[in-house]
Every structure is written in C-alpha cells, then in structure tokens.
Structure 1
Amino acid sequence: MFVERIKTEGLAQLSYLIGDGSEAAVIDPRRDCEVYAQMARERGCRITHIFETHRNEDLVSGAPILATMTGASVHHGPNAAGTVVYADIVCEGDQFAIGNLCLKVLETPGHTDDSLSFAIYDGGYGDGAVGVFTGDALFVGDVGRTDFYPERAEEVAGKLYDSLQKIVALGDQTNLYPAHGAGSVCGNKMADRDFSTIGYERHNNPMLQFDRREAFIQAKLEEHHNQPPYFHVMERINLVGAAPASPLLTPRVLDIPSFDGVAGRAVLVDVRGISAFLGAHVPGSLALPVGMIAAFAGWYLDEHEELILIADSATQAEAAARNLTRIGYDHLLGYLNTAMPGWAAAGRPFRSVPVIDAQEVKTRIGNKRENWVLLDVRDRGEISEGIIKGAETIYVGKLPEQLDRLAKDRNYTVMCASGARATIAASVLLRAGFHNVDVFLGSMGAWRAAGGEVVEPS
C-alpha cells in the first residue's frame, strides 16, 4: 500500500496517487495530469479510479482528462451546484477496493455542499483508518472556508462543524491528507507543513478546540476571505470538464516583428521578478511574477483574453504557461523572446518604476507632501494589525474595480508587506493611465524595521 503526494506550487494544491499491488487511484488531480500516469507506470500500477473531494473553485480539475487517458472512472459527491457530467455520484458509506486498500466515502459538507472525505483502510493489517483525504474540510492547522453560500452562512458553518466531528471520530492514529497546504486561498492560517494526524490536529488545531457548535459557527461568520472573480469560472468549467493542458504548456517564441503582429489584441503579462519589472518593462504590461500568478491572475485577467508573456527565458515562460492553464487561461499567443536590453537596443520604448525606502516615506509624511498618497494594498487581515498613519487602503485584487476612487493627478506611493504586491498594484495603476507612481520597496516590513509608527485603521 502506498500514498504519494503531488504538490502544485503557487496554488499550494495537494493531490494524491494511492494504491496497492497493481491497482491505483488518484485524489483531486490537477489539469496537467500526465504526472499521475507516469508515477503509476513507474510503480507498475494501473489507475482504476479517480476521486474528487469537491468541485474546485481555485483550479481546473484534471479528472476528466485523466479518465480519458487511463479509462478510470471518476467519482464525485452529491449536491453539487449543477451536474458534474464526467463523474459518477458516490455517497456516504460507498466503498471501493484497490488491492488490499479499502476506501470508504464520508459526506463532509460545509466548505461546499458536495464535499467528500475518503477514509482508507489497510485490509491486511488492523481495523482503524490508516488515513483520510479531507479535501477542503480539514487542513493542517486550519479548516475550510465556508463563505461560498453567504445566504446560508450559519447553516454551512454548522455543517462543517458536524463534518469535522465525523472526521475526528476516525481516530487519532489516522493520517491527515488535505487538498491544500499553506499559501492556499482556501484557508487562513494553515501550518507550513503538509503532514499531520487526526490526533495532532485534535489537540493543536485552533479550529478543533471549540466545545460548542455555536461558538464554532460564530468564529466562521467572523472570518474574511477574498474571492477572486475567476472562482466562478473554475466552478463552471469543473462541471463540464476542461480540455487537456499539454498543448498549451510550451508557448511559442515571439521575436519583435512577430510580437508587433499580435500585441495590439493581447494583454501583456510580465512574468519576470519584481526587480526586473521595476527596472525596465514594456509599457502597458501587467506585472505578474511566475510565483504570484496562481494568487493574483484571477483578479485581473478574463478567461477569453489573449495573452502574451514577457519572460526572461523559455523555462520561465513555460512555468508561467503551466500556472495559467491550471486556472483556465488558455489563450496564450506566445512569449517575447528578448530581454529588456535587447528591446531597448531595437529602439523600443520601455518604462521603469521608481522605488523609495522607509526614510523617504518618513520624510514625505513629515513634510506633509502636497498631493501625495500612500496607498496600502494589503488585505483586510493585515490592515487590521496596523497601518502607517494617513495611508489609504485598497486590496490589491480589488484595485481595478476601485480606480474611480483615485484621482489621476495625484502622486501615489504603493506599499504592501514587502513590495511584491505593491509592484503588481503599480502596474495596474500605470496601465490605467496613472503617471505618478512609485513603490515603497520593503513596505511594512521595512517600516517596522526602521521603527516607524503603526496605528489602528480608522
């Protein structure tokens, strides 16, 4: 019997290949799913079943694609908001044999109505559950968000509480296999590790310490999670299934003449690091470093838009393409095959973004610089822990829809926790026609290190 964890960086998504003998199953496959077939071949296994813990909101499922590749059956929970056309419905108590491994279905709604967990048992050794795949119900150090049904907020929070009792009842010996790790948008305070047990979580997970259902519900009602617009796209795609990702993962090379031929109809997405973007970038491009695509592309890009990547290398472009296709952005025209010095040498325009440090921010505040705005783009939880006095706040993801709040004739210094999200926000402002923009590099981290004053938000 084996359990192999496959982690998708950026999304912090965890999927699994499990099996015994010559048979295997996959839990929550991602869209670029060749990895599961390859791992099964290396173990001499055939994938016979694919299980989904719920209809994902943050990534495109690879279940229908992997089913076509392997002939495996797909299994999904009841009560999905629509019919998952490529899956068979399974319910509480259903069981599946994979060699000596027995997988039992638990209905664990709360995060979504169709959420399932899958407990596994070793038929050749002992009676208790060996492990449980909890999807987005229980994480390491946290539990799933319950804000997808705002009109039923108390009801679904209560359902999650009940589901957690069912999971905990499997016993302290049970290994925990969640669908996400730290960094995922599906939880707030996950521990930065991908392994745990039910016993450890029962004693240490803050969300399992409530002895009253009502107190748990109240805690969930007080949470705040951001919901990127692309979540609804993922939910729709994951009812009908997406096309294979493989043809999309190697974007074609664009030299400058080729770029000129298609740039007018596409969104330019600069996937280089923030320092490279700040130093020199193609005017009108959106800064989305490769490692931040999963978290932020869904706020700014439409699924139907054509995209051109600006990258330092083919390797970087391919990594960006993979991250984009995992969340449903399929219209990649290619990537610009030139570094900024080559772009400039061809006589092409470029733009840089000035950066300032903590001392300059202090000076501007102390001098009450006229027509200057310090714009803090951190999220609500970070803002609640303190801001620099006088700063205006707009979450980086919601900046496009709130640009009307900002006058274009003012000077903006954008800040976040370190400067990375601030760079994304600066690129959004520049694309929208704001001309006087700079970035507080180091941002709140630098401010605190320099002994700057932090006040409660008004």
Structure 2
Amino acid sequence: MFIQKIKSEGLSHLSYLVGNKGKAFVIDPRRDCEIYMEEAAKAGCRITHVFETHRNEDLISGAPILAKLTGARVLHGPNAMGDVTYADTTRDGDTYEFGNLTLQVLETPGHTDDSLSFAVFDTDHGDGAVGVFTGDALFIGDVGRTDFYPDRAEEVAGLLYDSLQKILALGDQAILYPAHGAGSVCGDNMADREFSSLGYERQYNDRLRIDSRERFIKEKIAEHHYQPPYFRLMEKLNLTGADPAPRVTTPVPLSPNEFHDLPDTTAIIDVRTVSAFLGAHLPGSLAIPAPMIPAFAGWYIEPGQPVVLVAADPGQAREAAQHLIRIGLDNLRGFLTTDMPEWSARGLPFHSLPAMHVDDIRERFRNPPENWQLLDVRSITEYEEEAIDGSVHVYVGELPEQLDRLDGNRHYTVMCASGARATIAASVLERAGFSRVDVFLGSFGAWKSRD
C-alpha cells in the first residue's frame, strides 16, 4: 500500500495517488494529469478509480481527462449545483475495496454542498482509520472557507462545523491529507507544512479548538475571502469537463515584429521578477511574476483572451504557461525573451517604475509632495489588522473595477506587505493611464522594521 502526494506549485494544490495490489486510485487530479499514469506505472498499478472531494473553484479538474486516458470510473458527491456529467455519484457510507485497503465515503458539506471526505482503512491491521482525505473541509492549521453561498452564510458555516466533528470522530491516529497547502486561496491560516494528524489538529488548529457551534458560525461568517472572476469558469468546466491540457506547455518564442502583429486585445503578462519589471518593461504590460500567476492572473485575464508572456528565459515561460493552463487561461500566443537593453537598442519603447525605500516614504509623510497618496493593496483583512495612517485601501485584485475611485492626476505610491502585489497593482495603474506611480519596495515589512 502506498500514498503518493502530487503537488501543483503556485496553486498549492495537493492531489494523491493511492495504490495497493496492482490497483490504484487518484484523488482530485489536476488538468495536466499524465503524471498520475506515469507514477502508477512505476508502482506496477492500474488506475481504476478517480475520486473528487468537491467541485473545485480554483483549478480545472483532471478527472474527466484521466478517466478517458485510463478507463477509470470517476466518483463525485451529491448536490453539486448541477450535473457533473463525467462522474457517477457516491454517497455517505459507500465503500470501495483495493486489496486490504478500504476507502469509505463521508459527506462533509460546508465548504461546498457536494464536499466529500474519504477515510482509508487497512483491514489487515486494526479497525481505526489510517488516514482521511479531507478536500477543502479541513486543512493543516485551518478549515475551509464557507463564502460560496452568501445567502446561506450561517447555514453552510454550521454544516462545516458538523462535518468537522464527523471527520474528527475517525480518531486522533488518522493522518490528514488535505487538498491544499499554505499559499492557497482556499484558506488564510494554513500551516507551512504538509503533514499532520487529526489528533494534532484537534489540539492546535484554532478553528477546531472552538467548542461552540454558534461561535464557530459567527467567526466563519466574519471572514473575508476574495473570489477572482475566473472561479466562474472553473465552476462551469468542472461540471462539464475541460479539454486536455496542451502536451507542450512552453509557448512559442516571438520576434518583436511578430509581437507587434498580435491583436490589440492581447494581454501582455510580464512574468519576470519584480525588480526586472520595475527596471524596464513593455508599455501596457502587466507584472505578474510566474509564481504569483495562480493567485492573480484570474483577476486580469478574460477567458479565451489571447496571452503573450514576457519571460527571462524559456523555462520561466514554461512555468508561467503551466500555471495558466491549470486555471483554463490557455490561449497562449507565445513569449518574448528579448531583454530591455536589446529592445531599446532597436528603438522600441519601454517603461520603468521608480522603487521607493522606506526612508523615502517617511520623508514624504514629513513633507508631503503635492497631490500625493499612499495606496495599500493588501487584503482588507491585512489592512484592518494594521495599516499606515494616511493610506487608502483598494485590494490588488479588485483594482481594475475600482479605478473610478482613484484620481488619474494624483501621484500614487503603491504598497502591500513586501512590494510584490504593489508592483502588480502599479502595472495595472500604469496600463490604465496613471502617469505618476511608484512602488514602495519592502512595503509594510520595511515600515514595521523601522518602528
């Protein structure tokens, strides 16, 4: 018997390949799913089943694709707000045998109505559950968000509380296998590790230490989570099934002339580092460093919109493309690796953005420049916990829809926690025609270090 975790970086998505006695199953596969077949073949197993813990909002499921490739049966929970056309329905108490391994289905709604958890039993060694795959119901250090049904906020928070008690009843010995790790948009306070047990979480997970259902509901409905527009695309594709991911995930290289022939609707996404973008970038491009694409690209790229990447090298372009493919933004027209000195040597235009040191910002507060404003683009939760007096707040993801709140003639210094989200936001402002923009590099971290 083996359990192999397969992680998708950026999304912090955790899927699992489980095998025993020549058969294997997969839990929550990603869209580029060949890896599961490759790893199963290495273990001498054939994939016979695919289980989904819920209809994912933040990535495309690979379940229908993997089923076509392997002939595996796909199982999904009830109440999915539509028919999951590629899956059969499995319900609470159903069991599936894989040699001496038994998988038992638990209906654990709250995060979504169709949420399932899967308890694993080793029938040769004791009666207790060896582990449990909890999807987005229970994480390491946190529990699932419950904001997808705003008109039923108290009800679904209560459902999650009940589901967590059901999971914990499996016993402290059970190993926890969640669907996401730290950095996922599906939780705020996940621990920066990917191993735990129900006993450890019962003792140290703050949400599980709440002993009152009413208090749990109150705290859950007070949370604030953001929902990027691309979530709606995920909802649709994870009912009907997406096309397979492209076999080759490195976009084709473009020459400057080919770049200029692209349609005006093309999104130019600069996936280089923050410092590279600040130093020099193409006019109209958006800064989204490659590791940040899963969290932020879905705010700015429309489904089906043509995309061109600006990357430091083909490897970086491939990384960025892979992230985009996993969230369905895969109309990739190519990438540029022309560095800015070469670009400018051809007489082609480029822009730069000034980076401000913490001492510069303190001086600006002592002697404010005319018509200057500090703009904080962190989450509202971060901003309400602690903020710099005199700053104004707009969340980075919502900035395109909130531009009418800002004065295009003002001088904005953009800040976040470190400067990365601030650079994304500054590129949004610059693309919208704001001409007086700079970035507080180091941002709130630097500010606090000088207190």
TM-score band (shorter)?
Answer: over 0.9
Aligned equivalent of 1:85: 85
Aligned equivalent of 1:34: 34
Q: Deviations over 1:4-63 (max 9, x none)?
A: 001111111100000102000000000111111110011011000000000000000000
Q: Distance in 2 between matches of 1:257 and 1:361?
A: 41
Which residues in structure 2 correspond to 1:170-181 (within 5 Å)?
170-181=170-181
**What letter corresponds to residue 126 of structure 2 in structure 1?**
G
Residue 149, structure 1, aligned to residue 141, structure 2: no
Question: 2:369 aligns to what SS in structure 1?
Answer: coil
Q: Distance in 2 between matches of 1:400 and 1:382?
A: 20
Aligned equivalent of 2:398: 398
Aligned equivalent of 1:368: 368
Q: Deviations over 1:182-240 (max 9, x none)?
A: 11111111111111001111111111112221111111111111111111111111001
Aligned equivalent of 2:279: 279
TM-score (norm 2): 0.99
Q: Distance in 1 between matches of 2:263 and 2:439?
A: 27
Aligned equivalent of 1:443: 443
Q: Distance in 2 between matches of 1:356 and 1:263?
A: 35
Question: 2:338 aligns to what SS in structure 1?
Answer: coil
Aligned equivalent of 1:219: 219
Residue 98, structure 1, aligned to residue 118, structure 2: no
Aligned-pair identity (%): 63
Q: Distance in 1 between matches of 2:183 and 2:402?
A: 26
Aligned equivalent of 1:346: 346
The offset of 1:263, in angstroms, is 5.2
**What letter corresponds to residue 76 of structure 2 in structure 1?**
H
**Structure 2: where are the runs of 5+ without partners?**
none
Let me know the Cα RMSD of the aligned residues: 0.9
Q: Distance in 2 between matches of 1:99 and 1:162?
A: 31
* Structure 1 runs of 4+ with >2 Å offset: none
Q: Distance in 2 between matches of 1:337 and 1:184?
A: 29
**What letter corresponds to residue 436 of structure 1 in structure 2?**
R
Aligned equivalent of 1:308: 308
Aligned equivalent of 1:408: 408
Q: Distance in 2 between matches of 1:241 and 1:123?
A: 35
Which residues in structure 2 correspond to 1:230-245 (within 5 Å)?
230-245=230-245
Which residues in structure 2 correspond to 1:127-206 (within 5 Å)?
127-206=127-206
**What letter corresponds to residue 351 of structure 1 in structure 2?**
H
Q: Deviations over 1:247-281 (max 9, x none)?
A: 35121111112112215341101010100000000
Aligned equivalent of 2:228: 228
The offset of 1:107, in angstroms, is 0.3
Which residues in structure 2 correspond to 1:6-21 (within 5 Å)?
6-21=6-21
Greater CA deviation, 355-364 or 167-176? 355-364
Q: Distance in 1 between matches of 2:323 and 2:301?
A: 13
The offset of 1:385, in angstroms, is 2.0
The offset of 1:341, in angstroms, is 2.0
Aligned equivalent of 2:430: 430
Aligned equivalent of 2:110: 110
Kept after mapping to 2: 8 A contact 1:248/1:332? no
Kept after mapping to 2: 8 A contact 1:248/1:330? no
Question: 1:146 aligns to what SS in structure 2?
Answer: coil
**Structure 1: where are the runs of 5+ without partners?**
452-458
Aligned equivalent of 1:49: 49
Q: Distance in 1 between matches of 2:110 and 2:346?
A: 56
The offset of 1:130, in angstroms, is 0.5
Question: 1:448 aligns to what SS in structure 2?
Answer: helix
Q: Distance in 1 between matches of 2:377 and 2:369?
A: 20
Aligned equivalent of 1:456: none
Tell me how many residue pairs correspond in the alignment: 451
Q: Distance in 1 between matches of 2:210 and 2:443?
A: 36
Kept after mapping to 2: 8 A contact 1:111/1:146? yes
Q: Deviations over 1:114-171 (max 9, x none)?
A: 0000001112211110000000001101100001001001110111111111100001
The offset of 1:99, in angstroms, is 2.1
